[in-house]
Structure 1
Amino acid sequence: MFKSRSQPIQSSEITDESVWRARRRLFLQAPGALALAAGLPGLAQAVPVGQALSFNPSQRWKLDETPTSEADVTTYNNFYEFGTGKEDPSRQSGQFKTEPWTVQVDGLVHKPLTLDMDQILKLAPLEERIYRLRCVEAWSMVVPWVGYSLSALLKQASPMGSARFVRFETAAEPETMPGLRSRILDWPYVEALRLDEAMHPLTLLATGLYGKSLPVQNGAPVRLIVPWKYGFKSAKSLVRITLTDTMPESSWMKVAPHEYGFYANVNPDVPHPRWSQATERVIGSGFFATKKATLPFNGYAEDVASLYANMDLRRYY
């Protein structure tokens, strides 16, 4: 029944939040609903942190290794926007908001896009891909990510023939990201790939891990995963993707080019100026556990080595 403004609404008549969210999800799953939602400002919301995702196991990109525990993956992180300590992101990210969220795709594309999270989640079938993650500090973990190949998104934007690189820009919100007060990097965080690297099917646009939407400390609501490169290449909390004809200067290149090159391919034969990359410590195995040998391209050489044929990987580190 219609009620005028002079008639108070009883609490029993107010739809519970969980009910209207469930109805909204059903609406968006209906044919044509995605296009309708795109034209209605205010509808777009990210999937709440920790919500279960529907996905299919990957038949191609799967490691025969036991995943690192969820507790370790969600509490041992590099995410300097929330602090430089490994436990800082899980402790200091509670105020960061992922709803609503949009990602802009622009630059040398025929079809610039601005996508909300509902559109991103429906752009391609979600898969669970168990990838090895290797960080430049010589530690590694195995993570069951949920997402799909970044190429699915880039193809929607229709790259121009002159596009050669892809620049990724991440969120920078001083009110909720205490690490931005530091002068370690020039915020916002920027990373980049060659276009052929970005279009490789291994390169993942991730929206979840362990079957659930991403926690903030792991890059919610959407991030990049490039498993054959060191972890700093896999930018978190993406807000803008720009295609360009010139090589972008990434954040770590800008502050320490002698330590962090553009390519950052995992290479046991090229040491970091301050430590070796020949071995790695597997997170969860114990600090005094025997280290394991680092694999070229983090174990993905069969899939990606051809991208760098005839390149001097000591020079292009």
Structure 2
Amino acid sequence: MLIRSKQAGELTEAQVTDESVYRNRRQLLKQMGFVGLGGLLANPSQAGVWSWLGDDKPEASLPERAALSYQPASPISDPLTSESKVLSYNNFYEFGLDKADPQQNARNFRADPWRLQLSGLVEKPIELGFEDLFNFPLEERIYRLRCVEAWSMVIPWVGFPLSALLAKAGINSSAKYVAFETLYDPKQMPGQSSRMFGGGIRYPYVEGLRLDEAMHPLTILAVGVYGKALPPQNGAPIRLVVPWKYGFKSIKSIVGIRLQSSQPETTWNRAAADEYGFYANVNPQVDHPRWSQAQERRITKGGLGSDSRIATQLFNGYGAEVAGLYSGMDLRRYF
């Protein structure tokens, strides 16, 4: 469950992934008419390709986050990504397209009060308020996060198994899938009300898992990171973490979880089905239509030359635990 495998495939500083890889998904949005690439390049201090080059700096200007009580993870061999990088390098289009935008534009986001509703094919619908989210037994899970854009991090999340919440509701025998929905609040999330600022994708952001994926012990709902409550840019107050799938499956700031019999729509699959499949399992043998998935840039502290390029592992290295979920499936067809 925790990361214990040795990091493999490290290359030299000169082999840092080309800048173009990180702009490719935004190039899709540009082709759809939503992103002005010149605008992203006009201010290098705000451009995502530059934000990871800066030195690792503390977040003195950000609000304090509450410390959490949890069962700590065992030590691991993989170097953790620095906390400041985890908090400052994000895809969260509700707060802007650039990696640095969420940290800057979510400063006034309010996660309390909150309402998370669990509904659909359950015996007992559940509604959780902000304080309820922290009443589950919390544990630290140190997971690799692999973005579809070919970068990765190693992050110490704090949370609880999604299965614990679903079990409380009582799962109806006809339930086959779990659908998730992000908060829709354009006043707090400016990207939701701007085609340019939010990339033009349809909001609210929605995601989904097959029920057996949702019930797997590795699948968690995270309420914290680095021992403290999640900040807004990382999906406060509660987000999904599915470590063997590309990062866009791990939906943030969840307000709705619904069990249903049919496969739910998902945001990126809806936007470009030939590029972002429903399953989105990490697979180095299935390239994105516009870039290779064979390798990734592992972000540690950031800063020029401090990161490395490594080989991507099938199921992000969690194959021993999850490969059985896809026995007999054509992973190229069901990508």
Normalised-by-shorter TM-score class: 0.7 to 0.9
Residue range with higher mean Cα deviation, 176-185 or 274-283: 176-185
Output aligned runs, 1:269-308, within 5 Å: 269-283=285-299, 284=301, 286=303, 288=305, 289-308=307-326
- Given residue 54 of structure 1, which amino acid in structure 2 is its aligned partner? S
Q: Which consecutive residues of structure 2, in runs of 5 or more, have no partner in the other structure?
A: 1-62
Structure showing greater radius of gyration is 1
Shift in Å, 1:285: 5.2
Output aligned runs, 1:46-65, within 5 Å: 50-58=65-73, 63-65=76-78
Q: Is the 8 A contact 1:54 1:126 kept in 2?
A: yes
TM superposition score normalised by structure 1: 0.82
Partner residue, 1:89: 102
Partner residue, 1:36: none
2:151 is aligned, of 139, 152, 171, to 139
Partner residue, 1:111: 124
Partner residue, 1:22: none
2 CA distance for matches of 1:75 and 1:303?
A: 30
Output aligned runs, 1:204-243, within 5 Å: 204-243=220-259
Output aligned runs, 1:74-223, within 5 Å: 74-122=87-135, 124-183=136-195, 184-223=200-239
Distance change >3 Å, CA 172–CA 73, structure 1 → 2: same
Shift in Å, 1:65: 1.3
Greater RCO, 1 or 2 (C-alpha within 8 Å, sep 6+): 2
Shift in Å, 1:186: 0.6
- Given residue 103 of structure 1, which amino acid in structure 2 is its aligned partner? L
Taking only aligned residues, the RMSD between alpha carbons, in angstroms, comes to 1.4
Match of 1:129, SS? Answer: strand
Name the count of aligned residue pairs: 267
TM superposition score normalised by structure 2: 0.77
Q: Is the 8 A contact 2:80 2:155 kept in 1?
A: yes
Match of 1:208, SS? Answer: strand
Residue range with higher mean Cα deviation, 170-179 or 82-91: 170-179
Residue range with higher mean Cα deviation, 137-146 or 64-73: 64-73
Match of 2:72, SS? Answer: strand
Shift in Å, 1:295: 0.5
Q: Is the 8 A contact 1:74 1:215 kept in 2?
A: yes
2 CA distance for matches of 1:49 and 1:257?
A: 40
- Given residue 99 of structure 1, which amino acid in structure 2 is its aligned partner? D
Shift in Å, 1:49: 6.3
Q: Is it true that 1:69 corresponds to 2:87 in the alignment?
A: no
- Given residue 55 of structure 1, which amino acid in structure 2 is its aligned partner? Y
2 CA distance for matches of 1:164 and 1:77?
A: 31
Q: Is the 8 A contact 2:123 2:169 kept in 1?
A: yes
Shift in Å, 1:118: 1.8
- Given residue 291 of structure 1, which amino acid in structure 2 is its aligned partner? R
Match of 1:74, SS? Answer: helix
Q: Is the 8 A contact 1:106 1:113 kept in 2?
A: yes
Partner residue, 1:256: 272
Shift in Å, 1:102: 1.3
1 CA distance for matches of 2:225 and 2:105?
A: 20
Q: Deviations 1:152-182 (Å, cap 9, x if unpaired)?
A: 0000111100000000000111111111123
Distance change >3 Å, CA 275–CA 220, structure 1 → 2: same
Q: Is the 8 A contact 1:126 1:147 kept in 2?
A: yes
Residue range with higher mean Cα deviation, 126-135 or 287-296: 287-296
Q: Deviations 1:73-106 (Å, cap 9, x if unpaired)?
A: 0000000000010000001001211110110000
